[in-house]
Amino acid sequence: MKSPAPIASAAQSSVAEKKRGFAILDSERWLGPLLIGPAVIYILLLVGVPFFMALYYSVSNTTSGGGTMGFVGLRNFSGVIGTPKFQTALKNTIIFGLISQALILVLSNALALALQHEFPGRRLIRFLILLPWVAPISIGTIAWLWIFDSTYSVLNWMLRLTGLIQGQGFMWLGLPHLAMGSIIAVHVWRQLPLATVILLAGYGSIPQDIHDAAAVDGAGFWRHFFQVTLPLVLPISLVALLFGLIFTFTDMVIIYNLTRGGPFDTTQVLASLAFYTGIAGGDLAEGAAIALFLFPLLLAVALGFLIIAHRAEVT
Amino acid sequence: MIERIKLWGVRSTRWGILGTLTFFFAFPFVWMLITTFKRSSDLYDLKHNPFLFYEWPTLEHIHRLFYETLYGQWLLNTAFVGVLVVLITLALAVPAGYALARLTGNWGAKLGIGIFLTYLVPPTLLFIPLSRVVVNLNLDDSLWSLVLVYPSFTVPFSAWLMMGFFKAIPKDVEEAAMIDGCSRLGAFIKVVVPISLSGILTVAIFSFALVLQEFVYAVTFISSVRHMTVGVGVPTFLVHGDVYFWGSLMAGCFIASVPIAILYNFFVDRFIAGFTMGAVK
């Protein structure tokens, strides 16, 4: 990455300054927009336009058959809010998001602490830890489907081996609370790696003298961690948390593959409910309305990133 | 003495955490591998220890996967979409990243953050309107629908990453080339792009991995089995098949996940630098 390319001498670069002055007048004013334009247009067409279409759909009566596109006001929203299905999905979205992020925050800090110093085998462990993040998620959840299998669950076998359970074992995906626990576990499995590597980058960036100073002052492990390390990695923990929130709240793959929202729609979240209503059920308008309930959350996360970006610019 | 007990305590806690969590992370992949090579009679015998091979390992599951399912076709479909999406992404994101790094000044920084934020708009918000767009363009059930839509999430983050790479290159590099008579565009193409190849490769792998990861659009736009990508074909089609199909299923999972994971691993530090948005210096 570090460029081996020729570095111009000071004399040359002062000439370049003069020459660049002309070049800017000639073409650079247009070159910037020209280079960035295609990307911006592409994004506007395929993210911006559909986004406003989603807004419009949510106040219309569009179905996948084409049908009419009449304006129905907030009827989709009001119709959807009252249903138990929606309320369960909303509640689950929040529960899954909060519990998994709380677990991830604690575990990723523990893991980053354990990994922050060099030791033999560290690279291998880091690779193994990263696997769930870099492997395609729809594929990874299928492995869990097999682990949670009602008859051949290897998890039940291991529990029987340790004597924790006897007989048949648990129906991991068949009972509402167990299914929710299983889904949260897979979420943690999937997202802990990203949070851990982000935090590791944060831990690595703390200058050693700060740790030394704390040691000289006689700070013990916990005091050192809570009063020195943690405040310094707080901004970057926030980045990890924001990514985690967005990936958990908007994910439907894990639900789709593990439980399909079942048993009896008890594990449905907003994203999966929007899919089953809008695509499988064909009611595009209502599906769009359900998906839009995710929007305030996304707005909050985007705001968080803006604040971080601003702070990074200032410091 | 107390010091030594303390040290021992720290070490064993560390290895306890690492051991438990590493097992949790890697176990599904180990389990895929074991299941792939086990004979069905061995696999489905509840009296057997699932981690041991009571009979000789077999390649029958892999054979079945490639000869009796459309798995090979799905891999080809994924590669087809992946390569095209990578090309489109590079064509759009490399120039955009350069413009953001060098040419656009103050409004460029704001535009850059704007582009980064679009990466956060999830498919779950857009797949419903896009399904309609795809139908109107007559692309439903065609891989071209994915080729069209996927760059919408690969380009923003790639442009952001490229911006970071280009900013790390000293300005003198182009200036020297421009003294030698190159235009700004010429300097970019002839000098900057060649020394940024490792960054470009990073973006290519990142985009390809995202194509493999994507599920929501693929399951929405594609309906016939022949046109599925591997990420959708395996969980929707293979799972619904025969119950006693786990061997082939796990073989399919392993082949589709571990090679890309190994490749990705080499580049992961660069993604993290992009993810953290300069919050870490």
Domains, chain A, ranges and CATH?
A: 84-314 (1.10.3720.10)
The pLDDT of residue A258: 82
Q: Check if the beta carbon of residue B128 is closer than 8 Å to that of residue A274.
A: yes
Segment A252-262 shows an average pLDDT of 83
pLDDT in tens, B208-229: 888 888 888 998 898 888 888 8
Segment A24-36 shows an average pLDDT of 70
The residue of chain A nearest to residue B19, with distances taken between CA atoms, is: A125
Asked if pLDDT for residue B281 goes beyond 90, the answer is no
Q: Check if the beta carbon of residue B141 is closer than 8 Å to that of residue B223.
A: yes
Asked if pLDDT for residue B13 goes beyond 80, the answer is yes
Rg (CA), chain A: 26
Instruction: Provide the percentage of residues in chain B whose pLDDT is more than 70.
Output: 95
pLDDT in tens, B41-67: 777 777 777 777 777 888 888 888 888
Asked if pLDDT for residue A257 goes beyond 70, the answer is yes
- In chain A, what residues touch B46 (CB-CB under 8 Å)? 151-152
The residue of chain A nearest to residue B234, with distances taken between CA atoms, is: A139
> What residue ranges do the domains of chain B occupy?
2-58, 69-275
- In chain B, what residues touch A17 (CB-CB under 8 Å)? 175
How far apart are alpha carbons B57 and A252 in whole angstroms? 36
Whole-Å CA distances, A56 to A283, A289, B34 = 14, 9, 50
Asked if pLDDT for residue B149 goes beyond 50, the answer is yes
How far apart are alpha carbons B100 and B87 in whole angstroms? 20
Mean pLDDT rounded to a whole number for chain B: 83
CB–CB of A198 and B215 under 8 A? no
A1 vs B147, higher pLDDT: B147
> Chain B closest CA to A276's CA: distance in Å?
10
Task: Give the mutation candidate from A13, A28, A43, A252 for the B interface (greatest B CB count, under 10 A).
Answer: A43
> Chain B closest CA to A168's CA: distance in Å?
11
- DSSP letter, residue A95: H
B52 vs B204, higher pLDDT: B204
- In chain B, what residues touch A104 (CB-CB under 8 Å)? none
Which residue is listed with tokens 């193409």? B189
Whether omega for the bond prior to residue B123 falls within 30 degrees of 0, making it cis, is no
Asked if pLDDT for residue A5 goes beyond 80, the answer is no
For residue B107 the two structure tokens come to 């409004």
CB–CB of B46 and A152 under 8 A? yes
Asked if the ipTM is above 0.90, the reply is no
The pLDDT of residue B88: 95
pLDDT in tens, A223-237: 888 888 888 888 778
The pLDDT of residue A265: 76
B78 vs A19, higher pLDDT: B78
Asked if pLDDT for residue B279 goes beyond 80, the answer is no
How far apart are alpha carbons B247 and B71 in whole angstroms? 14
CB–CB of B28 and A140 under 8 A? yes
Residue range B69-275 in CATH 3.20.20.210: no
The pLDDT of residue A287: 80
Nearest CB among B31, B152, B256 relative to A43 is that of: B152
Lowest mean pLDDT among A68-82, A87-101, A231-245: A68-82
The one-letter amino acid code at B115 reads I
- In chain A, what residues touch B253 (CB-CB under 8 Å)? 139-140, 142-143
Instruction: Provide the percentage of residues in chain B whose pLDDT is more than 90.
Output: 11
Q: Check if the beta carbon of residue B209 is closer than 8 Å to that of residue B264.
A: yes
Q: Check if the beta carbon of residue A102 is closer than 8 Å to that of residue B9.
A: no
Task: Give the mutation candidate from B78, B124, B254 for the A interface (greatest A CB count, under 10 A).
Answer: B124
The pLDDT of residue A11: 42
How far apart are alpha carbons A35 and A25 in whole angstroms? 17
CB–CB of B234 and A139 under 8 A? yes
The pLDDT of residue A66: 61
In sequence order, the β-bridge partners of residue B175 are none
Segment B103-122 shows an average pLDDT of 78
